[in-house]
């Protein structure tokens, strides 16, 4: 696969962690599990103007969206069609970063997707995809994406709440930290904070922390040398799991598989696993 990524400059880098473009993704398996990250994304299918999202319990069933979709914050794995990754462009939002561009609470998209045309209007969504299709290089595609989001950012938007930004940074670096320890520092009631966090990020603080801890496990595994013997109990302990049973329960909850199966089927991408 030819994969290109781009980190936008200020002020977009406060909302977007990365833009990407990839093509020539051809693999022998038809379906992939996509593991939850707790983040939201915009994915634009440049191969065909539709996107299929499969039922995790029964991959014979699927929902069809337009080619450009906004992916909400997920707390479990999803199943996608690898054909639709042959040519894609996308935007990965920072936690809470999608909120200013969507004009609806991020929590409304938890564990779900929406066609971009439903959020921005059919003309705006269609124009963006057509411009990306016409762009001759990844660099031009990234420029188009930056221009698009800068124009929307220049419109009146509600900035991220400082309490949410503070909490996200804490939870990213210390996902095992009790939520109450953060609420004590920001001076909000637990109920108000949970509502605010869910509205901006798309997950409750507790669920977001669990997903971040799971992602920390995957990152630690991916950073090991190929063929290295993996000490799962040690990784679980390092990532803040109290015991092996707790670790296995969370791993299955988020991925639908056990750690050994993940290793045997993961692709070049940390969060994509052949089904």
Task: Name the residue range of residue 22's domain.
Answer: 2-154
Q: What is the pLDDT along the chain (275 residues), one digit of tens a residue?
A: 789 999 999 999 999 999 999 998 888 899 999 999 999 999 999 999 999 999 988 988 999 999 999 999 999 999 999 988 889 999 999 999 998 898 789 999 999 999 999 999 999 999 999 999 999 999 999 999 999 999 988 766 666 788 999 999 999 888 888 888 888 898 888 899 999 999 999 999 999 999 999 999 999 998 886 777 899 999 999 999 988 999 999 999 999 999 999 999 999 899 999 99
Residue 38 lies in a domain: yes
Within a domain: residue 184? no
- Residue pair 135/145 in contact (Cβ under 8 Å)? The answer is no
**Looking at residue 190, what is its pLDDT?**
87
Residue 211 falls inside a structural domain: no
Tokens 């999803």 locate to 78
Q: What is the pTM of this model?
A: 0.92
Instruction: With respect to residue 172, please indicate whether it lies within any of the assigned structural domains.
Output: no
For residue 128, give both structure tokens: 């963006």
Residue 212 lies in a domain: no
- Tell whether 173 is covered by a domain: no
Q: What is the pLDDT of residue 97?
A: 92
How many domains, the chain? 1
Question: Is there a domain that residue 242 lies in?
Answer: no
Establish if 222 belongs to a structural domain: no
């Amino acid at each position: 696969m030819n994969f290109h990524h781009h980190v936008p400059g200020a002020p977009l880098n406060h909302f977007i962690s990365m833009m990407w473009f990839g093509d020539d993704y051809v693999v022998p398996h038809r379906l992939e599990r996509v593991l939850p990250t707790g983040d939201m994304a915009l994915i634009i299918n440049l191969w065909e103007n539709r996107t299929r999202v499969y039922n995790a319990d029964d991959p014979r069933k699927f929902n069809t969206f337009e080619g450009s979709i906004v992916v909400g914050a997920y707390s479990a794995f999803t199943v996608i069609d690898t054909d639709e990754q042959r040519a894609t462009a996308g935007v990965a939002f920072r936690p809470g970063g999608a909120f200013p561009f969507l004009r609806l609470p991020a929590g409304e998209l938890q564990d779900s997707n929406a066609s971009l045309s439903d959020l921005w209007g059919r003309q705006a969504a269609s124009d963006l995809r057509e411009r990306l299709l016409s762009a001759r290089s990844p660099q031009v595609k990234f420029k188009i994406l930056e221009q698009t989001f800068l124009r929307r950012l220049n419109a009146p938007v509600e900035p991220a709440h400082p309490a949410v930004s503070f909490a996200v940074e804490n939870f990213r670096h210390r996902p095992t930290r009790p939520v109450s320890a953060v609420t004590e520092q920001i001076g909000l009631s637990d109920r108000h904070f949970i509502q605010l966090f869910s509205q901006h990020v798309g997950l409750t603080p507790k669920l977001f922390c669990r997903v971040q801890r799971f992602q920390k496990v995957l990152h630690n595994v991916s950073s090991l040398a190929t063929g290295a013997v993996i000490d799962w109990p040690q990784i679980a302990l390092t990532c803040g799991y109290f015991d092996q049973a707790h670790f296995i329960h969370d791993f299955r909850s988020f991925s639908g598989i056990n750690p050994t199966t993940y290793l045997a089927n993961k692709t070049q991408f940390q969060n994509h696993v052949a089904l």
